[in-house]
Each structure stands twice: as structure tokens, then as C-alpha cells.
Amino acid sequence: MSRPAAITFKGNPMTLVGEAVEVGQAAPEFKLHAFGPEGLTAITPADLKGKPTIISVVPSLDTGVCQIQTKTFNQKLGELGDKINALTVSLDLPFAQNRFCGAENITNIKQYSDYQERSFGNNWGMLIDELKLLARGTFVLDSEGKVVYAEVCPEVTQEPNYDAALAALNSLL
């Protein structure tokens, strides 16, 4: 399934692959990867249960708006510590994600890559067919893995609604 003209990129209509994630549904499956001291590790929705979760989705950490989004969430999530799971998801390689986060002191939100299987992009309806990148958006899950907030930015170059996402997350604490 695909959704033609679901979003725009610099004003040009783009197709999103997969169905849109809706508030109230269980988090769709995914397998994301990170690179840390123990090497390459994987995470699935089951690993997130037990705490509220915020998922910030960006096309690439090598672009300005994606960097702003990641830095903004990193700063705003600082005081929540280990009460939540906080993820940034992109198709950047885990090594590139680590390089950016190390250089920018990103410590409050963990970076995960969908590069291997694109299961997040396909299952969450966030893969831009024409660009083979993820669309920009934010999701909040409750501690049981149910979606309580979902935003897909209508224009890829625009920042998400930080306040709405954080309000949804804080309502779970």
C-alpha cells in the first residue's frame, strides 16, 4: 500500500509507503539498530514496554532541520531521565548517528537506524518512496505500547510540534 501526495518535500508531493499509524492502535512492529560499546544492537517495540516512549523520526541527521529536531528533543527531555524511552529514528547508518550525537553531546535521546530492513519506515507508513528516506514525525507510546500521539509533518522541511508531543508524553507520567 502507498499513500500518494501524503506529504511534500520542498513543496513537491511525495508518496509514503505503508499505512498511517493512528492514535489508539498498538505500535507496529520494527527492528532498529544502534551502535554502542557492545557493538551493533537491535531494538523492537517489545523492548520499549514498561515506560512511556517518544519516537522522533527524521530523514537524516546530516541535515539542518533534523539536527534542530534532535537537539531540541534532547534538551527538552533532559529532566525526564530514565522515566521514559526516547528514540530518534533515521535511515542514517548507526556509525554516522554516533558521530553526530558525540559531536553534539546528544545524551537524552538514543539514536536508532532503520537502514537494514526499513521495517520502521514500511510498517509505520513513514518511508518516502521517491527519496528512500523517512518522513519527519513524532510518535508517543504508552507503557503498554499503544500509540497515544502521532504526527507526520505535512512538509518534510518543517519542524514537528514539540509542545504537543511533549504534552502527550508528560500526560503519561
Residue 68, SS3?
A: helix
pLDDT by 10s per residue, the chain, length 173: 999 999 999 999 999 999 999 999 999 999 999 988 888 899 999 999 999 999 999 999 999 999 999 999 999 999 999 999 999 999 999 989 999 998 999 999 999 999 999 999 999 999 999 999 999 999 999 999 999 999 999 999 999 999 999 999 999 99
Range of the domain at 125: 2-170
CB-count exposure of residue 129 (10 Å: 0-12, 13-18, 19+): middle
- Mark whether 66 is an active-site residue: yes
**CATH number for position 128:** 3.40.30.10
Write out pLDDT tens, residues 19-65.
999 999 999 999 999 988 888 899 999 999 999 999 999 999 999 99
Do 57 and 30 form a contact (C-beta atoms < 8 A)? no
Q: Report the predicted TM-score, pTM, of the whole model to 2 decimal places.
A: 0.97
**Which grid coordinates belong to 64?**
539542518
Strand order across the beta sheet in which 133-134 lies? 2-9, 12-17, 127-128, 133-134
Please choose, from the candidates 49, 68, 48, the residue with its C-alpha nearest in 3D space to the C-alpha of residue 60.
68
Element (H, E) at 7: strand 2-9
Q: Which of 7, 61, 66, 133 is catalytic?
A: 66
Structural domains in the chain (count): 1
